[in-house]
Amino acid sequence: MSFEEKIPVLESGEILYEGEKLIYETPHASHVVFFPRRYDYLIKMMDGKNSIQDIMASLYGSRTSVTFKDLFECIGALVDANIIRNIEKSEISSEDVTRVSDARIPLLSKQWYSQAIKAKTIIKRPHFLIFSTLALAIVFLGLFSFIQFLDLKYLNQFLKIDDSYFKGIIYFFVCNSVILSSKSLMKYLLVLMATGRAYNLRFQINFFSVSLRVDDSSIFTLPQKWLGFLYGMANLCGYFFLVFVYSMVFTDVVMTEQLYIMALLYTLVDLDPFRSSDTNKMLRLFFEEENMDHLLPYLKKKALLAVRFKISNRKKETLYIVYSTLAVAWLVVSVEVAFSLLDRVLPNLVAAVLMGSFLDQISAAVIGLSFSIIGLYLAFDLLNLFFSGLVRPFLKSAKLIDVRSSRLVDFSSDQVLEIIRSTALFNELDHGFLDRFLETGAFFRFHDREPILYQGDEGTSMYVIVEGAAKVVHHQESGLERTIAHLETGAIFGEQALISGVLRSADVIASGPTTVFQITKERFELIRQKFPDSGKLLHRIELNQFLCSSEVFQDIPKEIASLFTKEGSYVESEQGDFVFKQGELSKDFYLILRGEAEVLIGNELVATIEQGGFFGEMALFRNAPRNASIRMKTKGTLFRLSKESFWKIVSQNIQLAMYLETVAELRSLEDQQEAS
């Protein structure tokens, strides 16, 4: 059963409204999910009667502001909260998304035990004045404490209490438990004052502490962003506020500095940009959530030099650049703090290991090992970030040396004929044409990991894998490599070469011993005039190339891709032909297989859609007349899908639906900007 055929069923719960936000609570309230208020429609549709495909179809006819992307994100959040049945986490995950754990160092920060104490606390109304007063006091006194104790005089005595590291470990555990619990209670109070409700106060045990923890997500859903910002600042200053309170009660400078160092370390953890931390929550206040959801994968997968290459969304690009810069700064500061601390503490630790009591020896070894692990993790992140961004691009800039050792081999044409007839590209073509097609080509054998073709080379041949497998590797401008596809027996690649000698967009590398059928453009031209089906093949190649090379369509399943061939038709257009005009009620969707088209609003040219583009989706998603005219700039070939065929395809793949929907939104925004 496909993902779209699944029937989502929600655990029984209650829908609450908070401004523009929606809160879904289960009876035990241990899991609470926050959504935009418009998700109300989706929540009510998940009643056990509607499949995801049914919900998608209803969205098309409902005229609500809910999008397909909203549906996917809603299901994902409900699955993560364990309050939806019939859908597994693996079904909403993507290979292109890097899952980032909340745990920086899993061994050290793993939760051994967690138990809810207070699932939900509700007061009659929020108290903004009390919240603001408390938050400002925490920020002011926390900053004051940070500056006052910045000049550390007893750093070398960290975790050494009364000349004993064993006592230091006990102190560290107890102190962590107290300050984490105190801060959690402080957060619980602030959230309660700001929102009128607080969730999931729990008791938790891990490697460092036995403490209270709290879920503060609700405060970041408030429409008043200043509340979330003020809370975030108070949260970041909270540890130093506790240092101030301690210094007012106790006068022991050494113990105060011990607490100060712990506060500094915990604040750095809260600012960690490589995990789901308070940094992300703060930035969500000022940037769209869909942008924020890509930050962690961006840091893990993109190179530093990648920020030189523009992306379509300028606001998202700015966010990525700022976030990457902050990430590097955080790493540098964290590494400096960790190694400075280790440098000052290490002599005492070594002395304790060599000459201390048995308990001190064990305690000093544990402390030293913990600091070493943390330092190595930070150093690894820093080196990996700079290596992927600065070193690898230079290593990959040299031209690959062609060491291809392919050999011409004999192979049964009958076996290949069976293979290619089963593909959408050659299905239902004339048998005589296929026989002649195979006679015109040749067979080559490649070794494991041997390149079959190179990115950047001019395309002169089409290939079919008749035995073995291969992978498609794209070299990004930043120097990073990405495996974008795995090809099995029967896979066709390089077919665009039969139409035009475009440059190869990726390497194709053999995965084990691999035999391919190859036909050059020159030899294909010899049979083109004799067989009418060669024209059908070229049309299908154009469509297949469009689907494979487009960011929107390249990841759709083969079954969906084959629907395009079955459901659509080809339209030959001359220069100056109007495909449709502004205000018309036509609802067809078009792909530009060859040529270019112009977009006109009124008589004004506002955009050009090049070969490989598409248009017509806006009228379908908005269920409205055409908002612009499309005129062919050059002679070309279009692929047309009727309204019914379009929705038949889109409703079977939520990823494709979300992509097209997003493009329609962006184009609508561009049109509004042009109009203004």
pLDDT at residue 318, rounded to an integer: 62
Total Cβ atoms within 10 A of residue 294 = 17
Each residue's pLDDT tens digit, 39-92: 888 888 888 888 887 887 777 655 566 777 778 888 888 887 788 887 776 666
Each residue's pLDDT tens digit, 566-616: 777 888 889 999 999 988 887 888 988 888 999 888 888 888 888 878 888
pLDDT at residue 577, rounded to an integer: 92
pLDDT at residue 21, rounded to an integer: 78
Domain chopping of the chain, boundaries: 3-91, 106-395, 407-549, 564-675
Q: Percent of the chain having pLDDT more than 90?
A: 8
Inform me whether the pLDDT recorded for 96 exceeds 50.
no
Each residue's pLDDT tens digit, 223-235: 677 888 888 889 8
Query: 3-state DSSP call for residue 106?
Result: helix
Inform me whether the pLDDT recorded for 143 exceeds 90.
yes
pLDDT at residue 373, rounded to an integer: 76
Computed over every residue of the chain, the mean pLDDT equals 76
pLDDT at residue 164, rounded to an integer: 87
Range in 5-9, 117-121, 199-203, 347-351 the model is least confident about: 117-121
Please tell me the distance from the alpha carbon of residue 203 to that of residue 216, in angstroms, as a whole number: 15
State the Cα torsion 232-235-240-241 to the nearest 10°.
110
pLDDT at residue 290, rounded to an integer: 44
pLDDT at residue 441, rounded to an integer: 83
Inform me whether the pLDDT recorded for 627 exceeds 60.
yes
Candidate CATH numbers 2.60.120.10, 2.60.120.200, 3.90.1170.50, 2.40.160.20; the one for domain 564-675? 2.60.120.10
Range in 250-254, 442-446, 484-488, 540-544 the model is least confident about: 540-544
The H-or-E segment that residue 658 falls in is helix 654-675
Candidate CATH numbers 3.20.20.70, 3.30.365.10, 2.60.120.10, 3.90.1150.10; the one for domain 407-549? 2.60.120.10
- 363 CB-contact burial (10 Å; exposed 0-12 / middle 13-18 / buried 19+): buried
Please tell me the distance from the alpha carbon of residue 543 to that of residue 558, in angstroms, as a whole number: 13
Each residue's pLDDT tens digit, 388-438: 555 554 554 443 444 344 456 666 667 777 777 777 667 767 778 888 888
Please tell me the distance from the alpha carbon of residue 168 to that of residue 362, in angstroms, as a whole number: 12
Angle at which helices 128-148 and 225-249 cross, to 10°:
50
Each residue's pLDDT tens digit, 452-497: 888 877 888 888 888 899 998 877 644 456 787 788 888 888 877 7
What is the CATH code for 3-91? 3.90.930.60
Please tell me the distance from the alpha carbon of residue 28 to that of residue 13, in angstroms, as a whole number: 9
Distances in Å between the alpha carbon of 213 and those of 240, 241, 280? 18, 18, 19
* Contact (Cβ atoms closer than 8 angstroms) between residue 34 and residue 22: yes
Q: Percent of the chain having pLDDT more than 70?
A: 74
Range in 312-316, 542-546, 559-563, 619-623 the model is least confident about: 312-316
Same CATH fold assignment for domains 3-91 and 564-675: no
- For residue 374, give both structure tokens: 């943390």
pLDDT at residue 564, rounded to an integer: 75
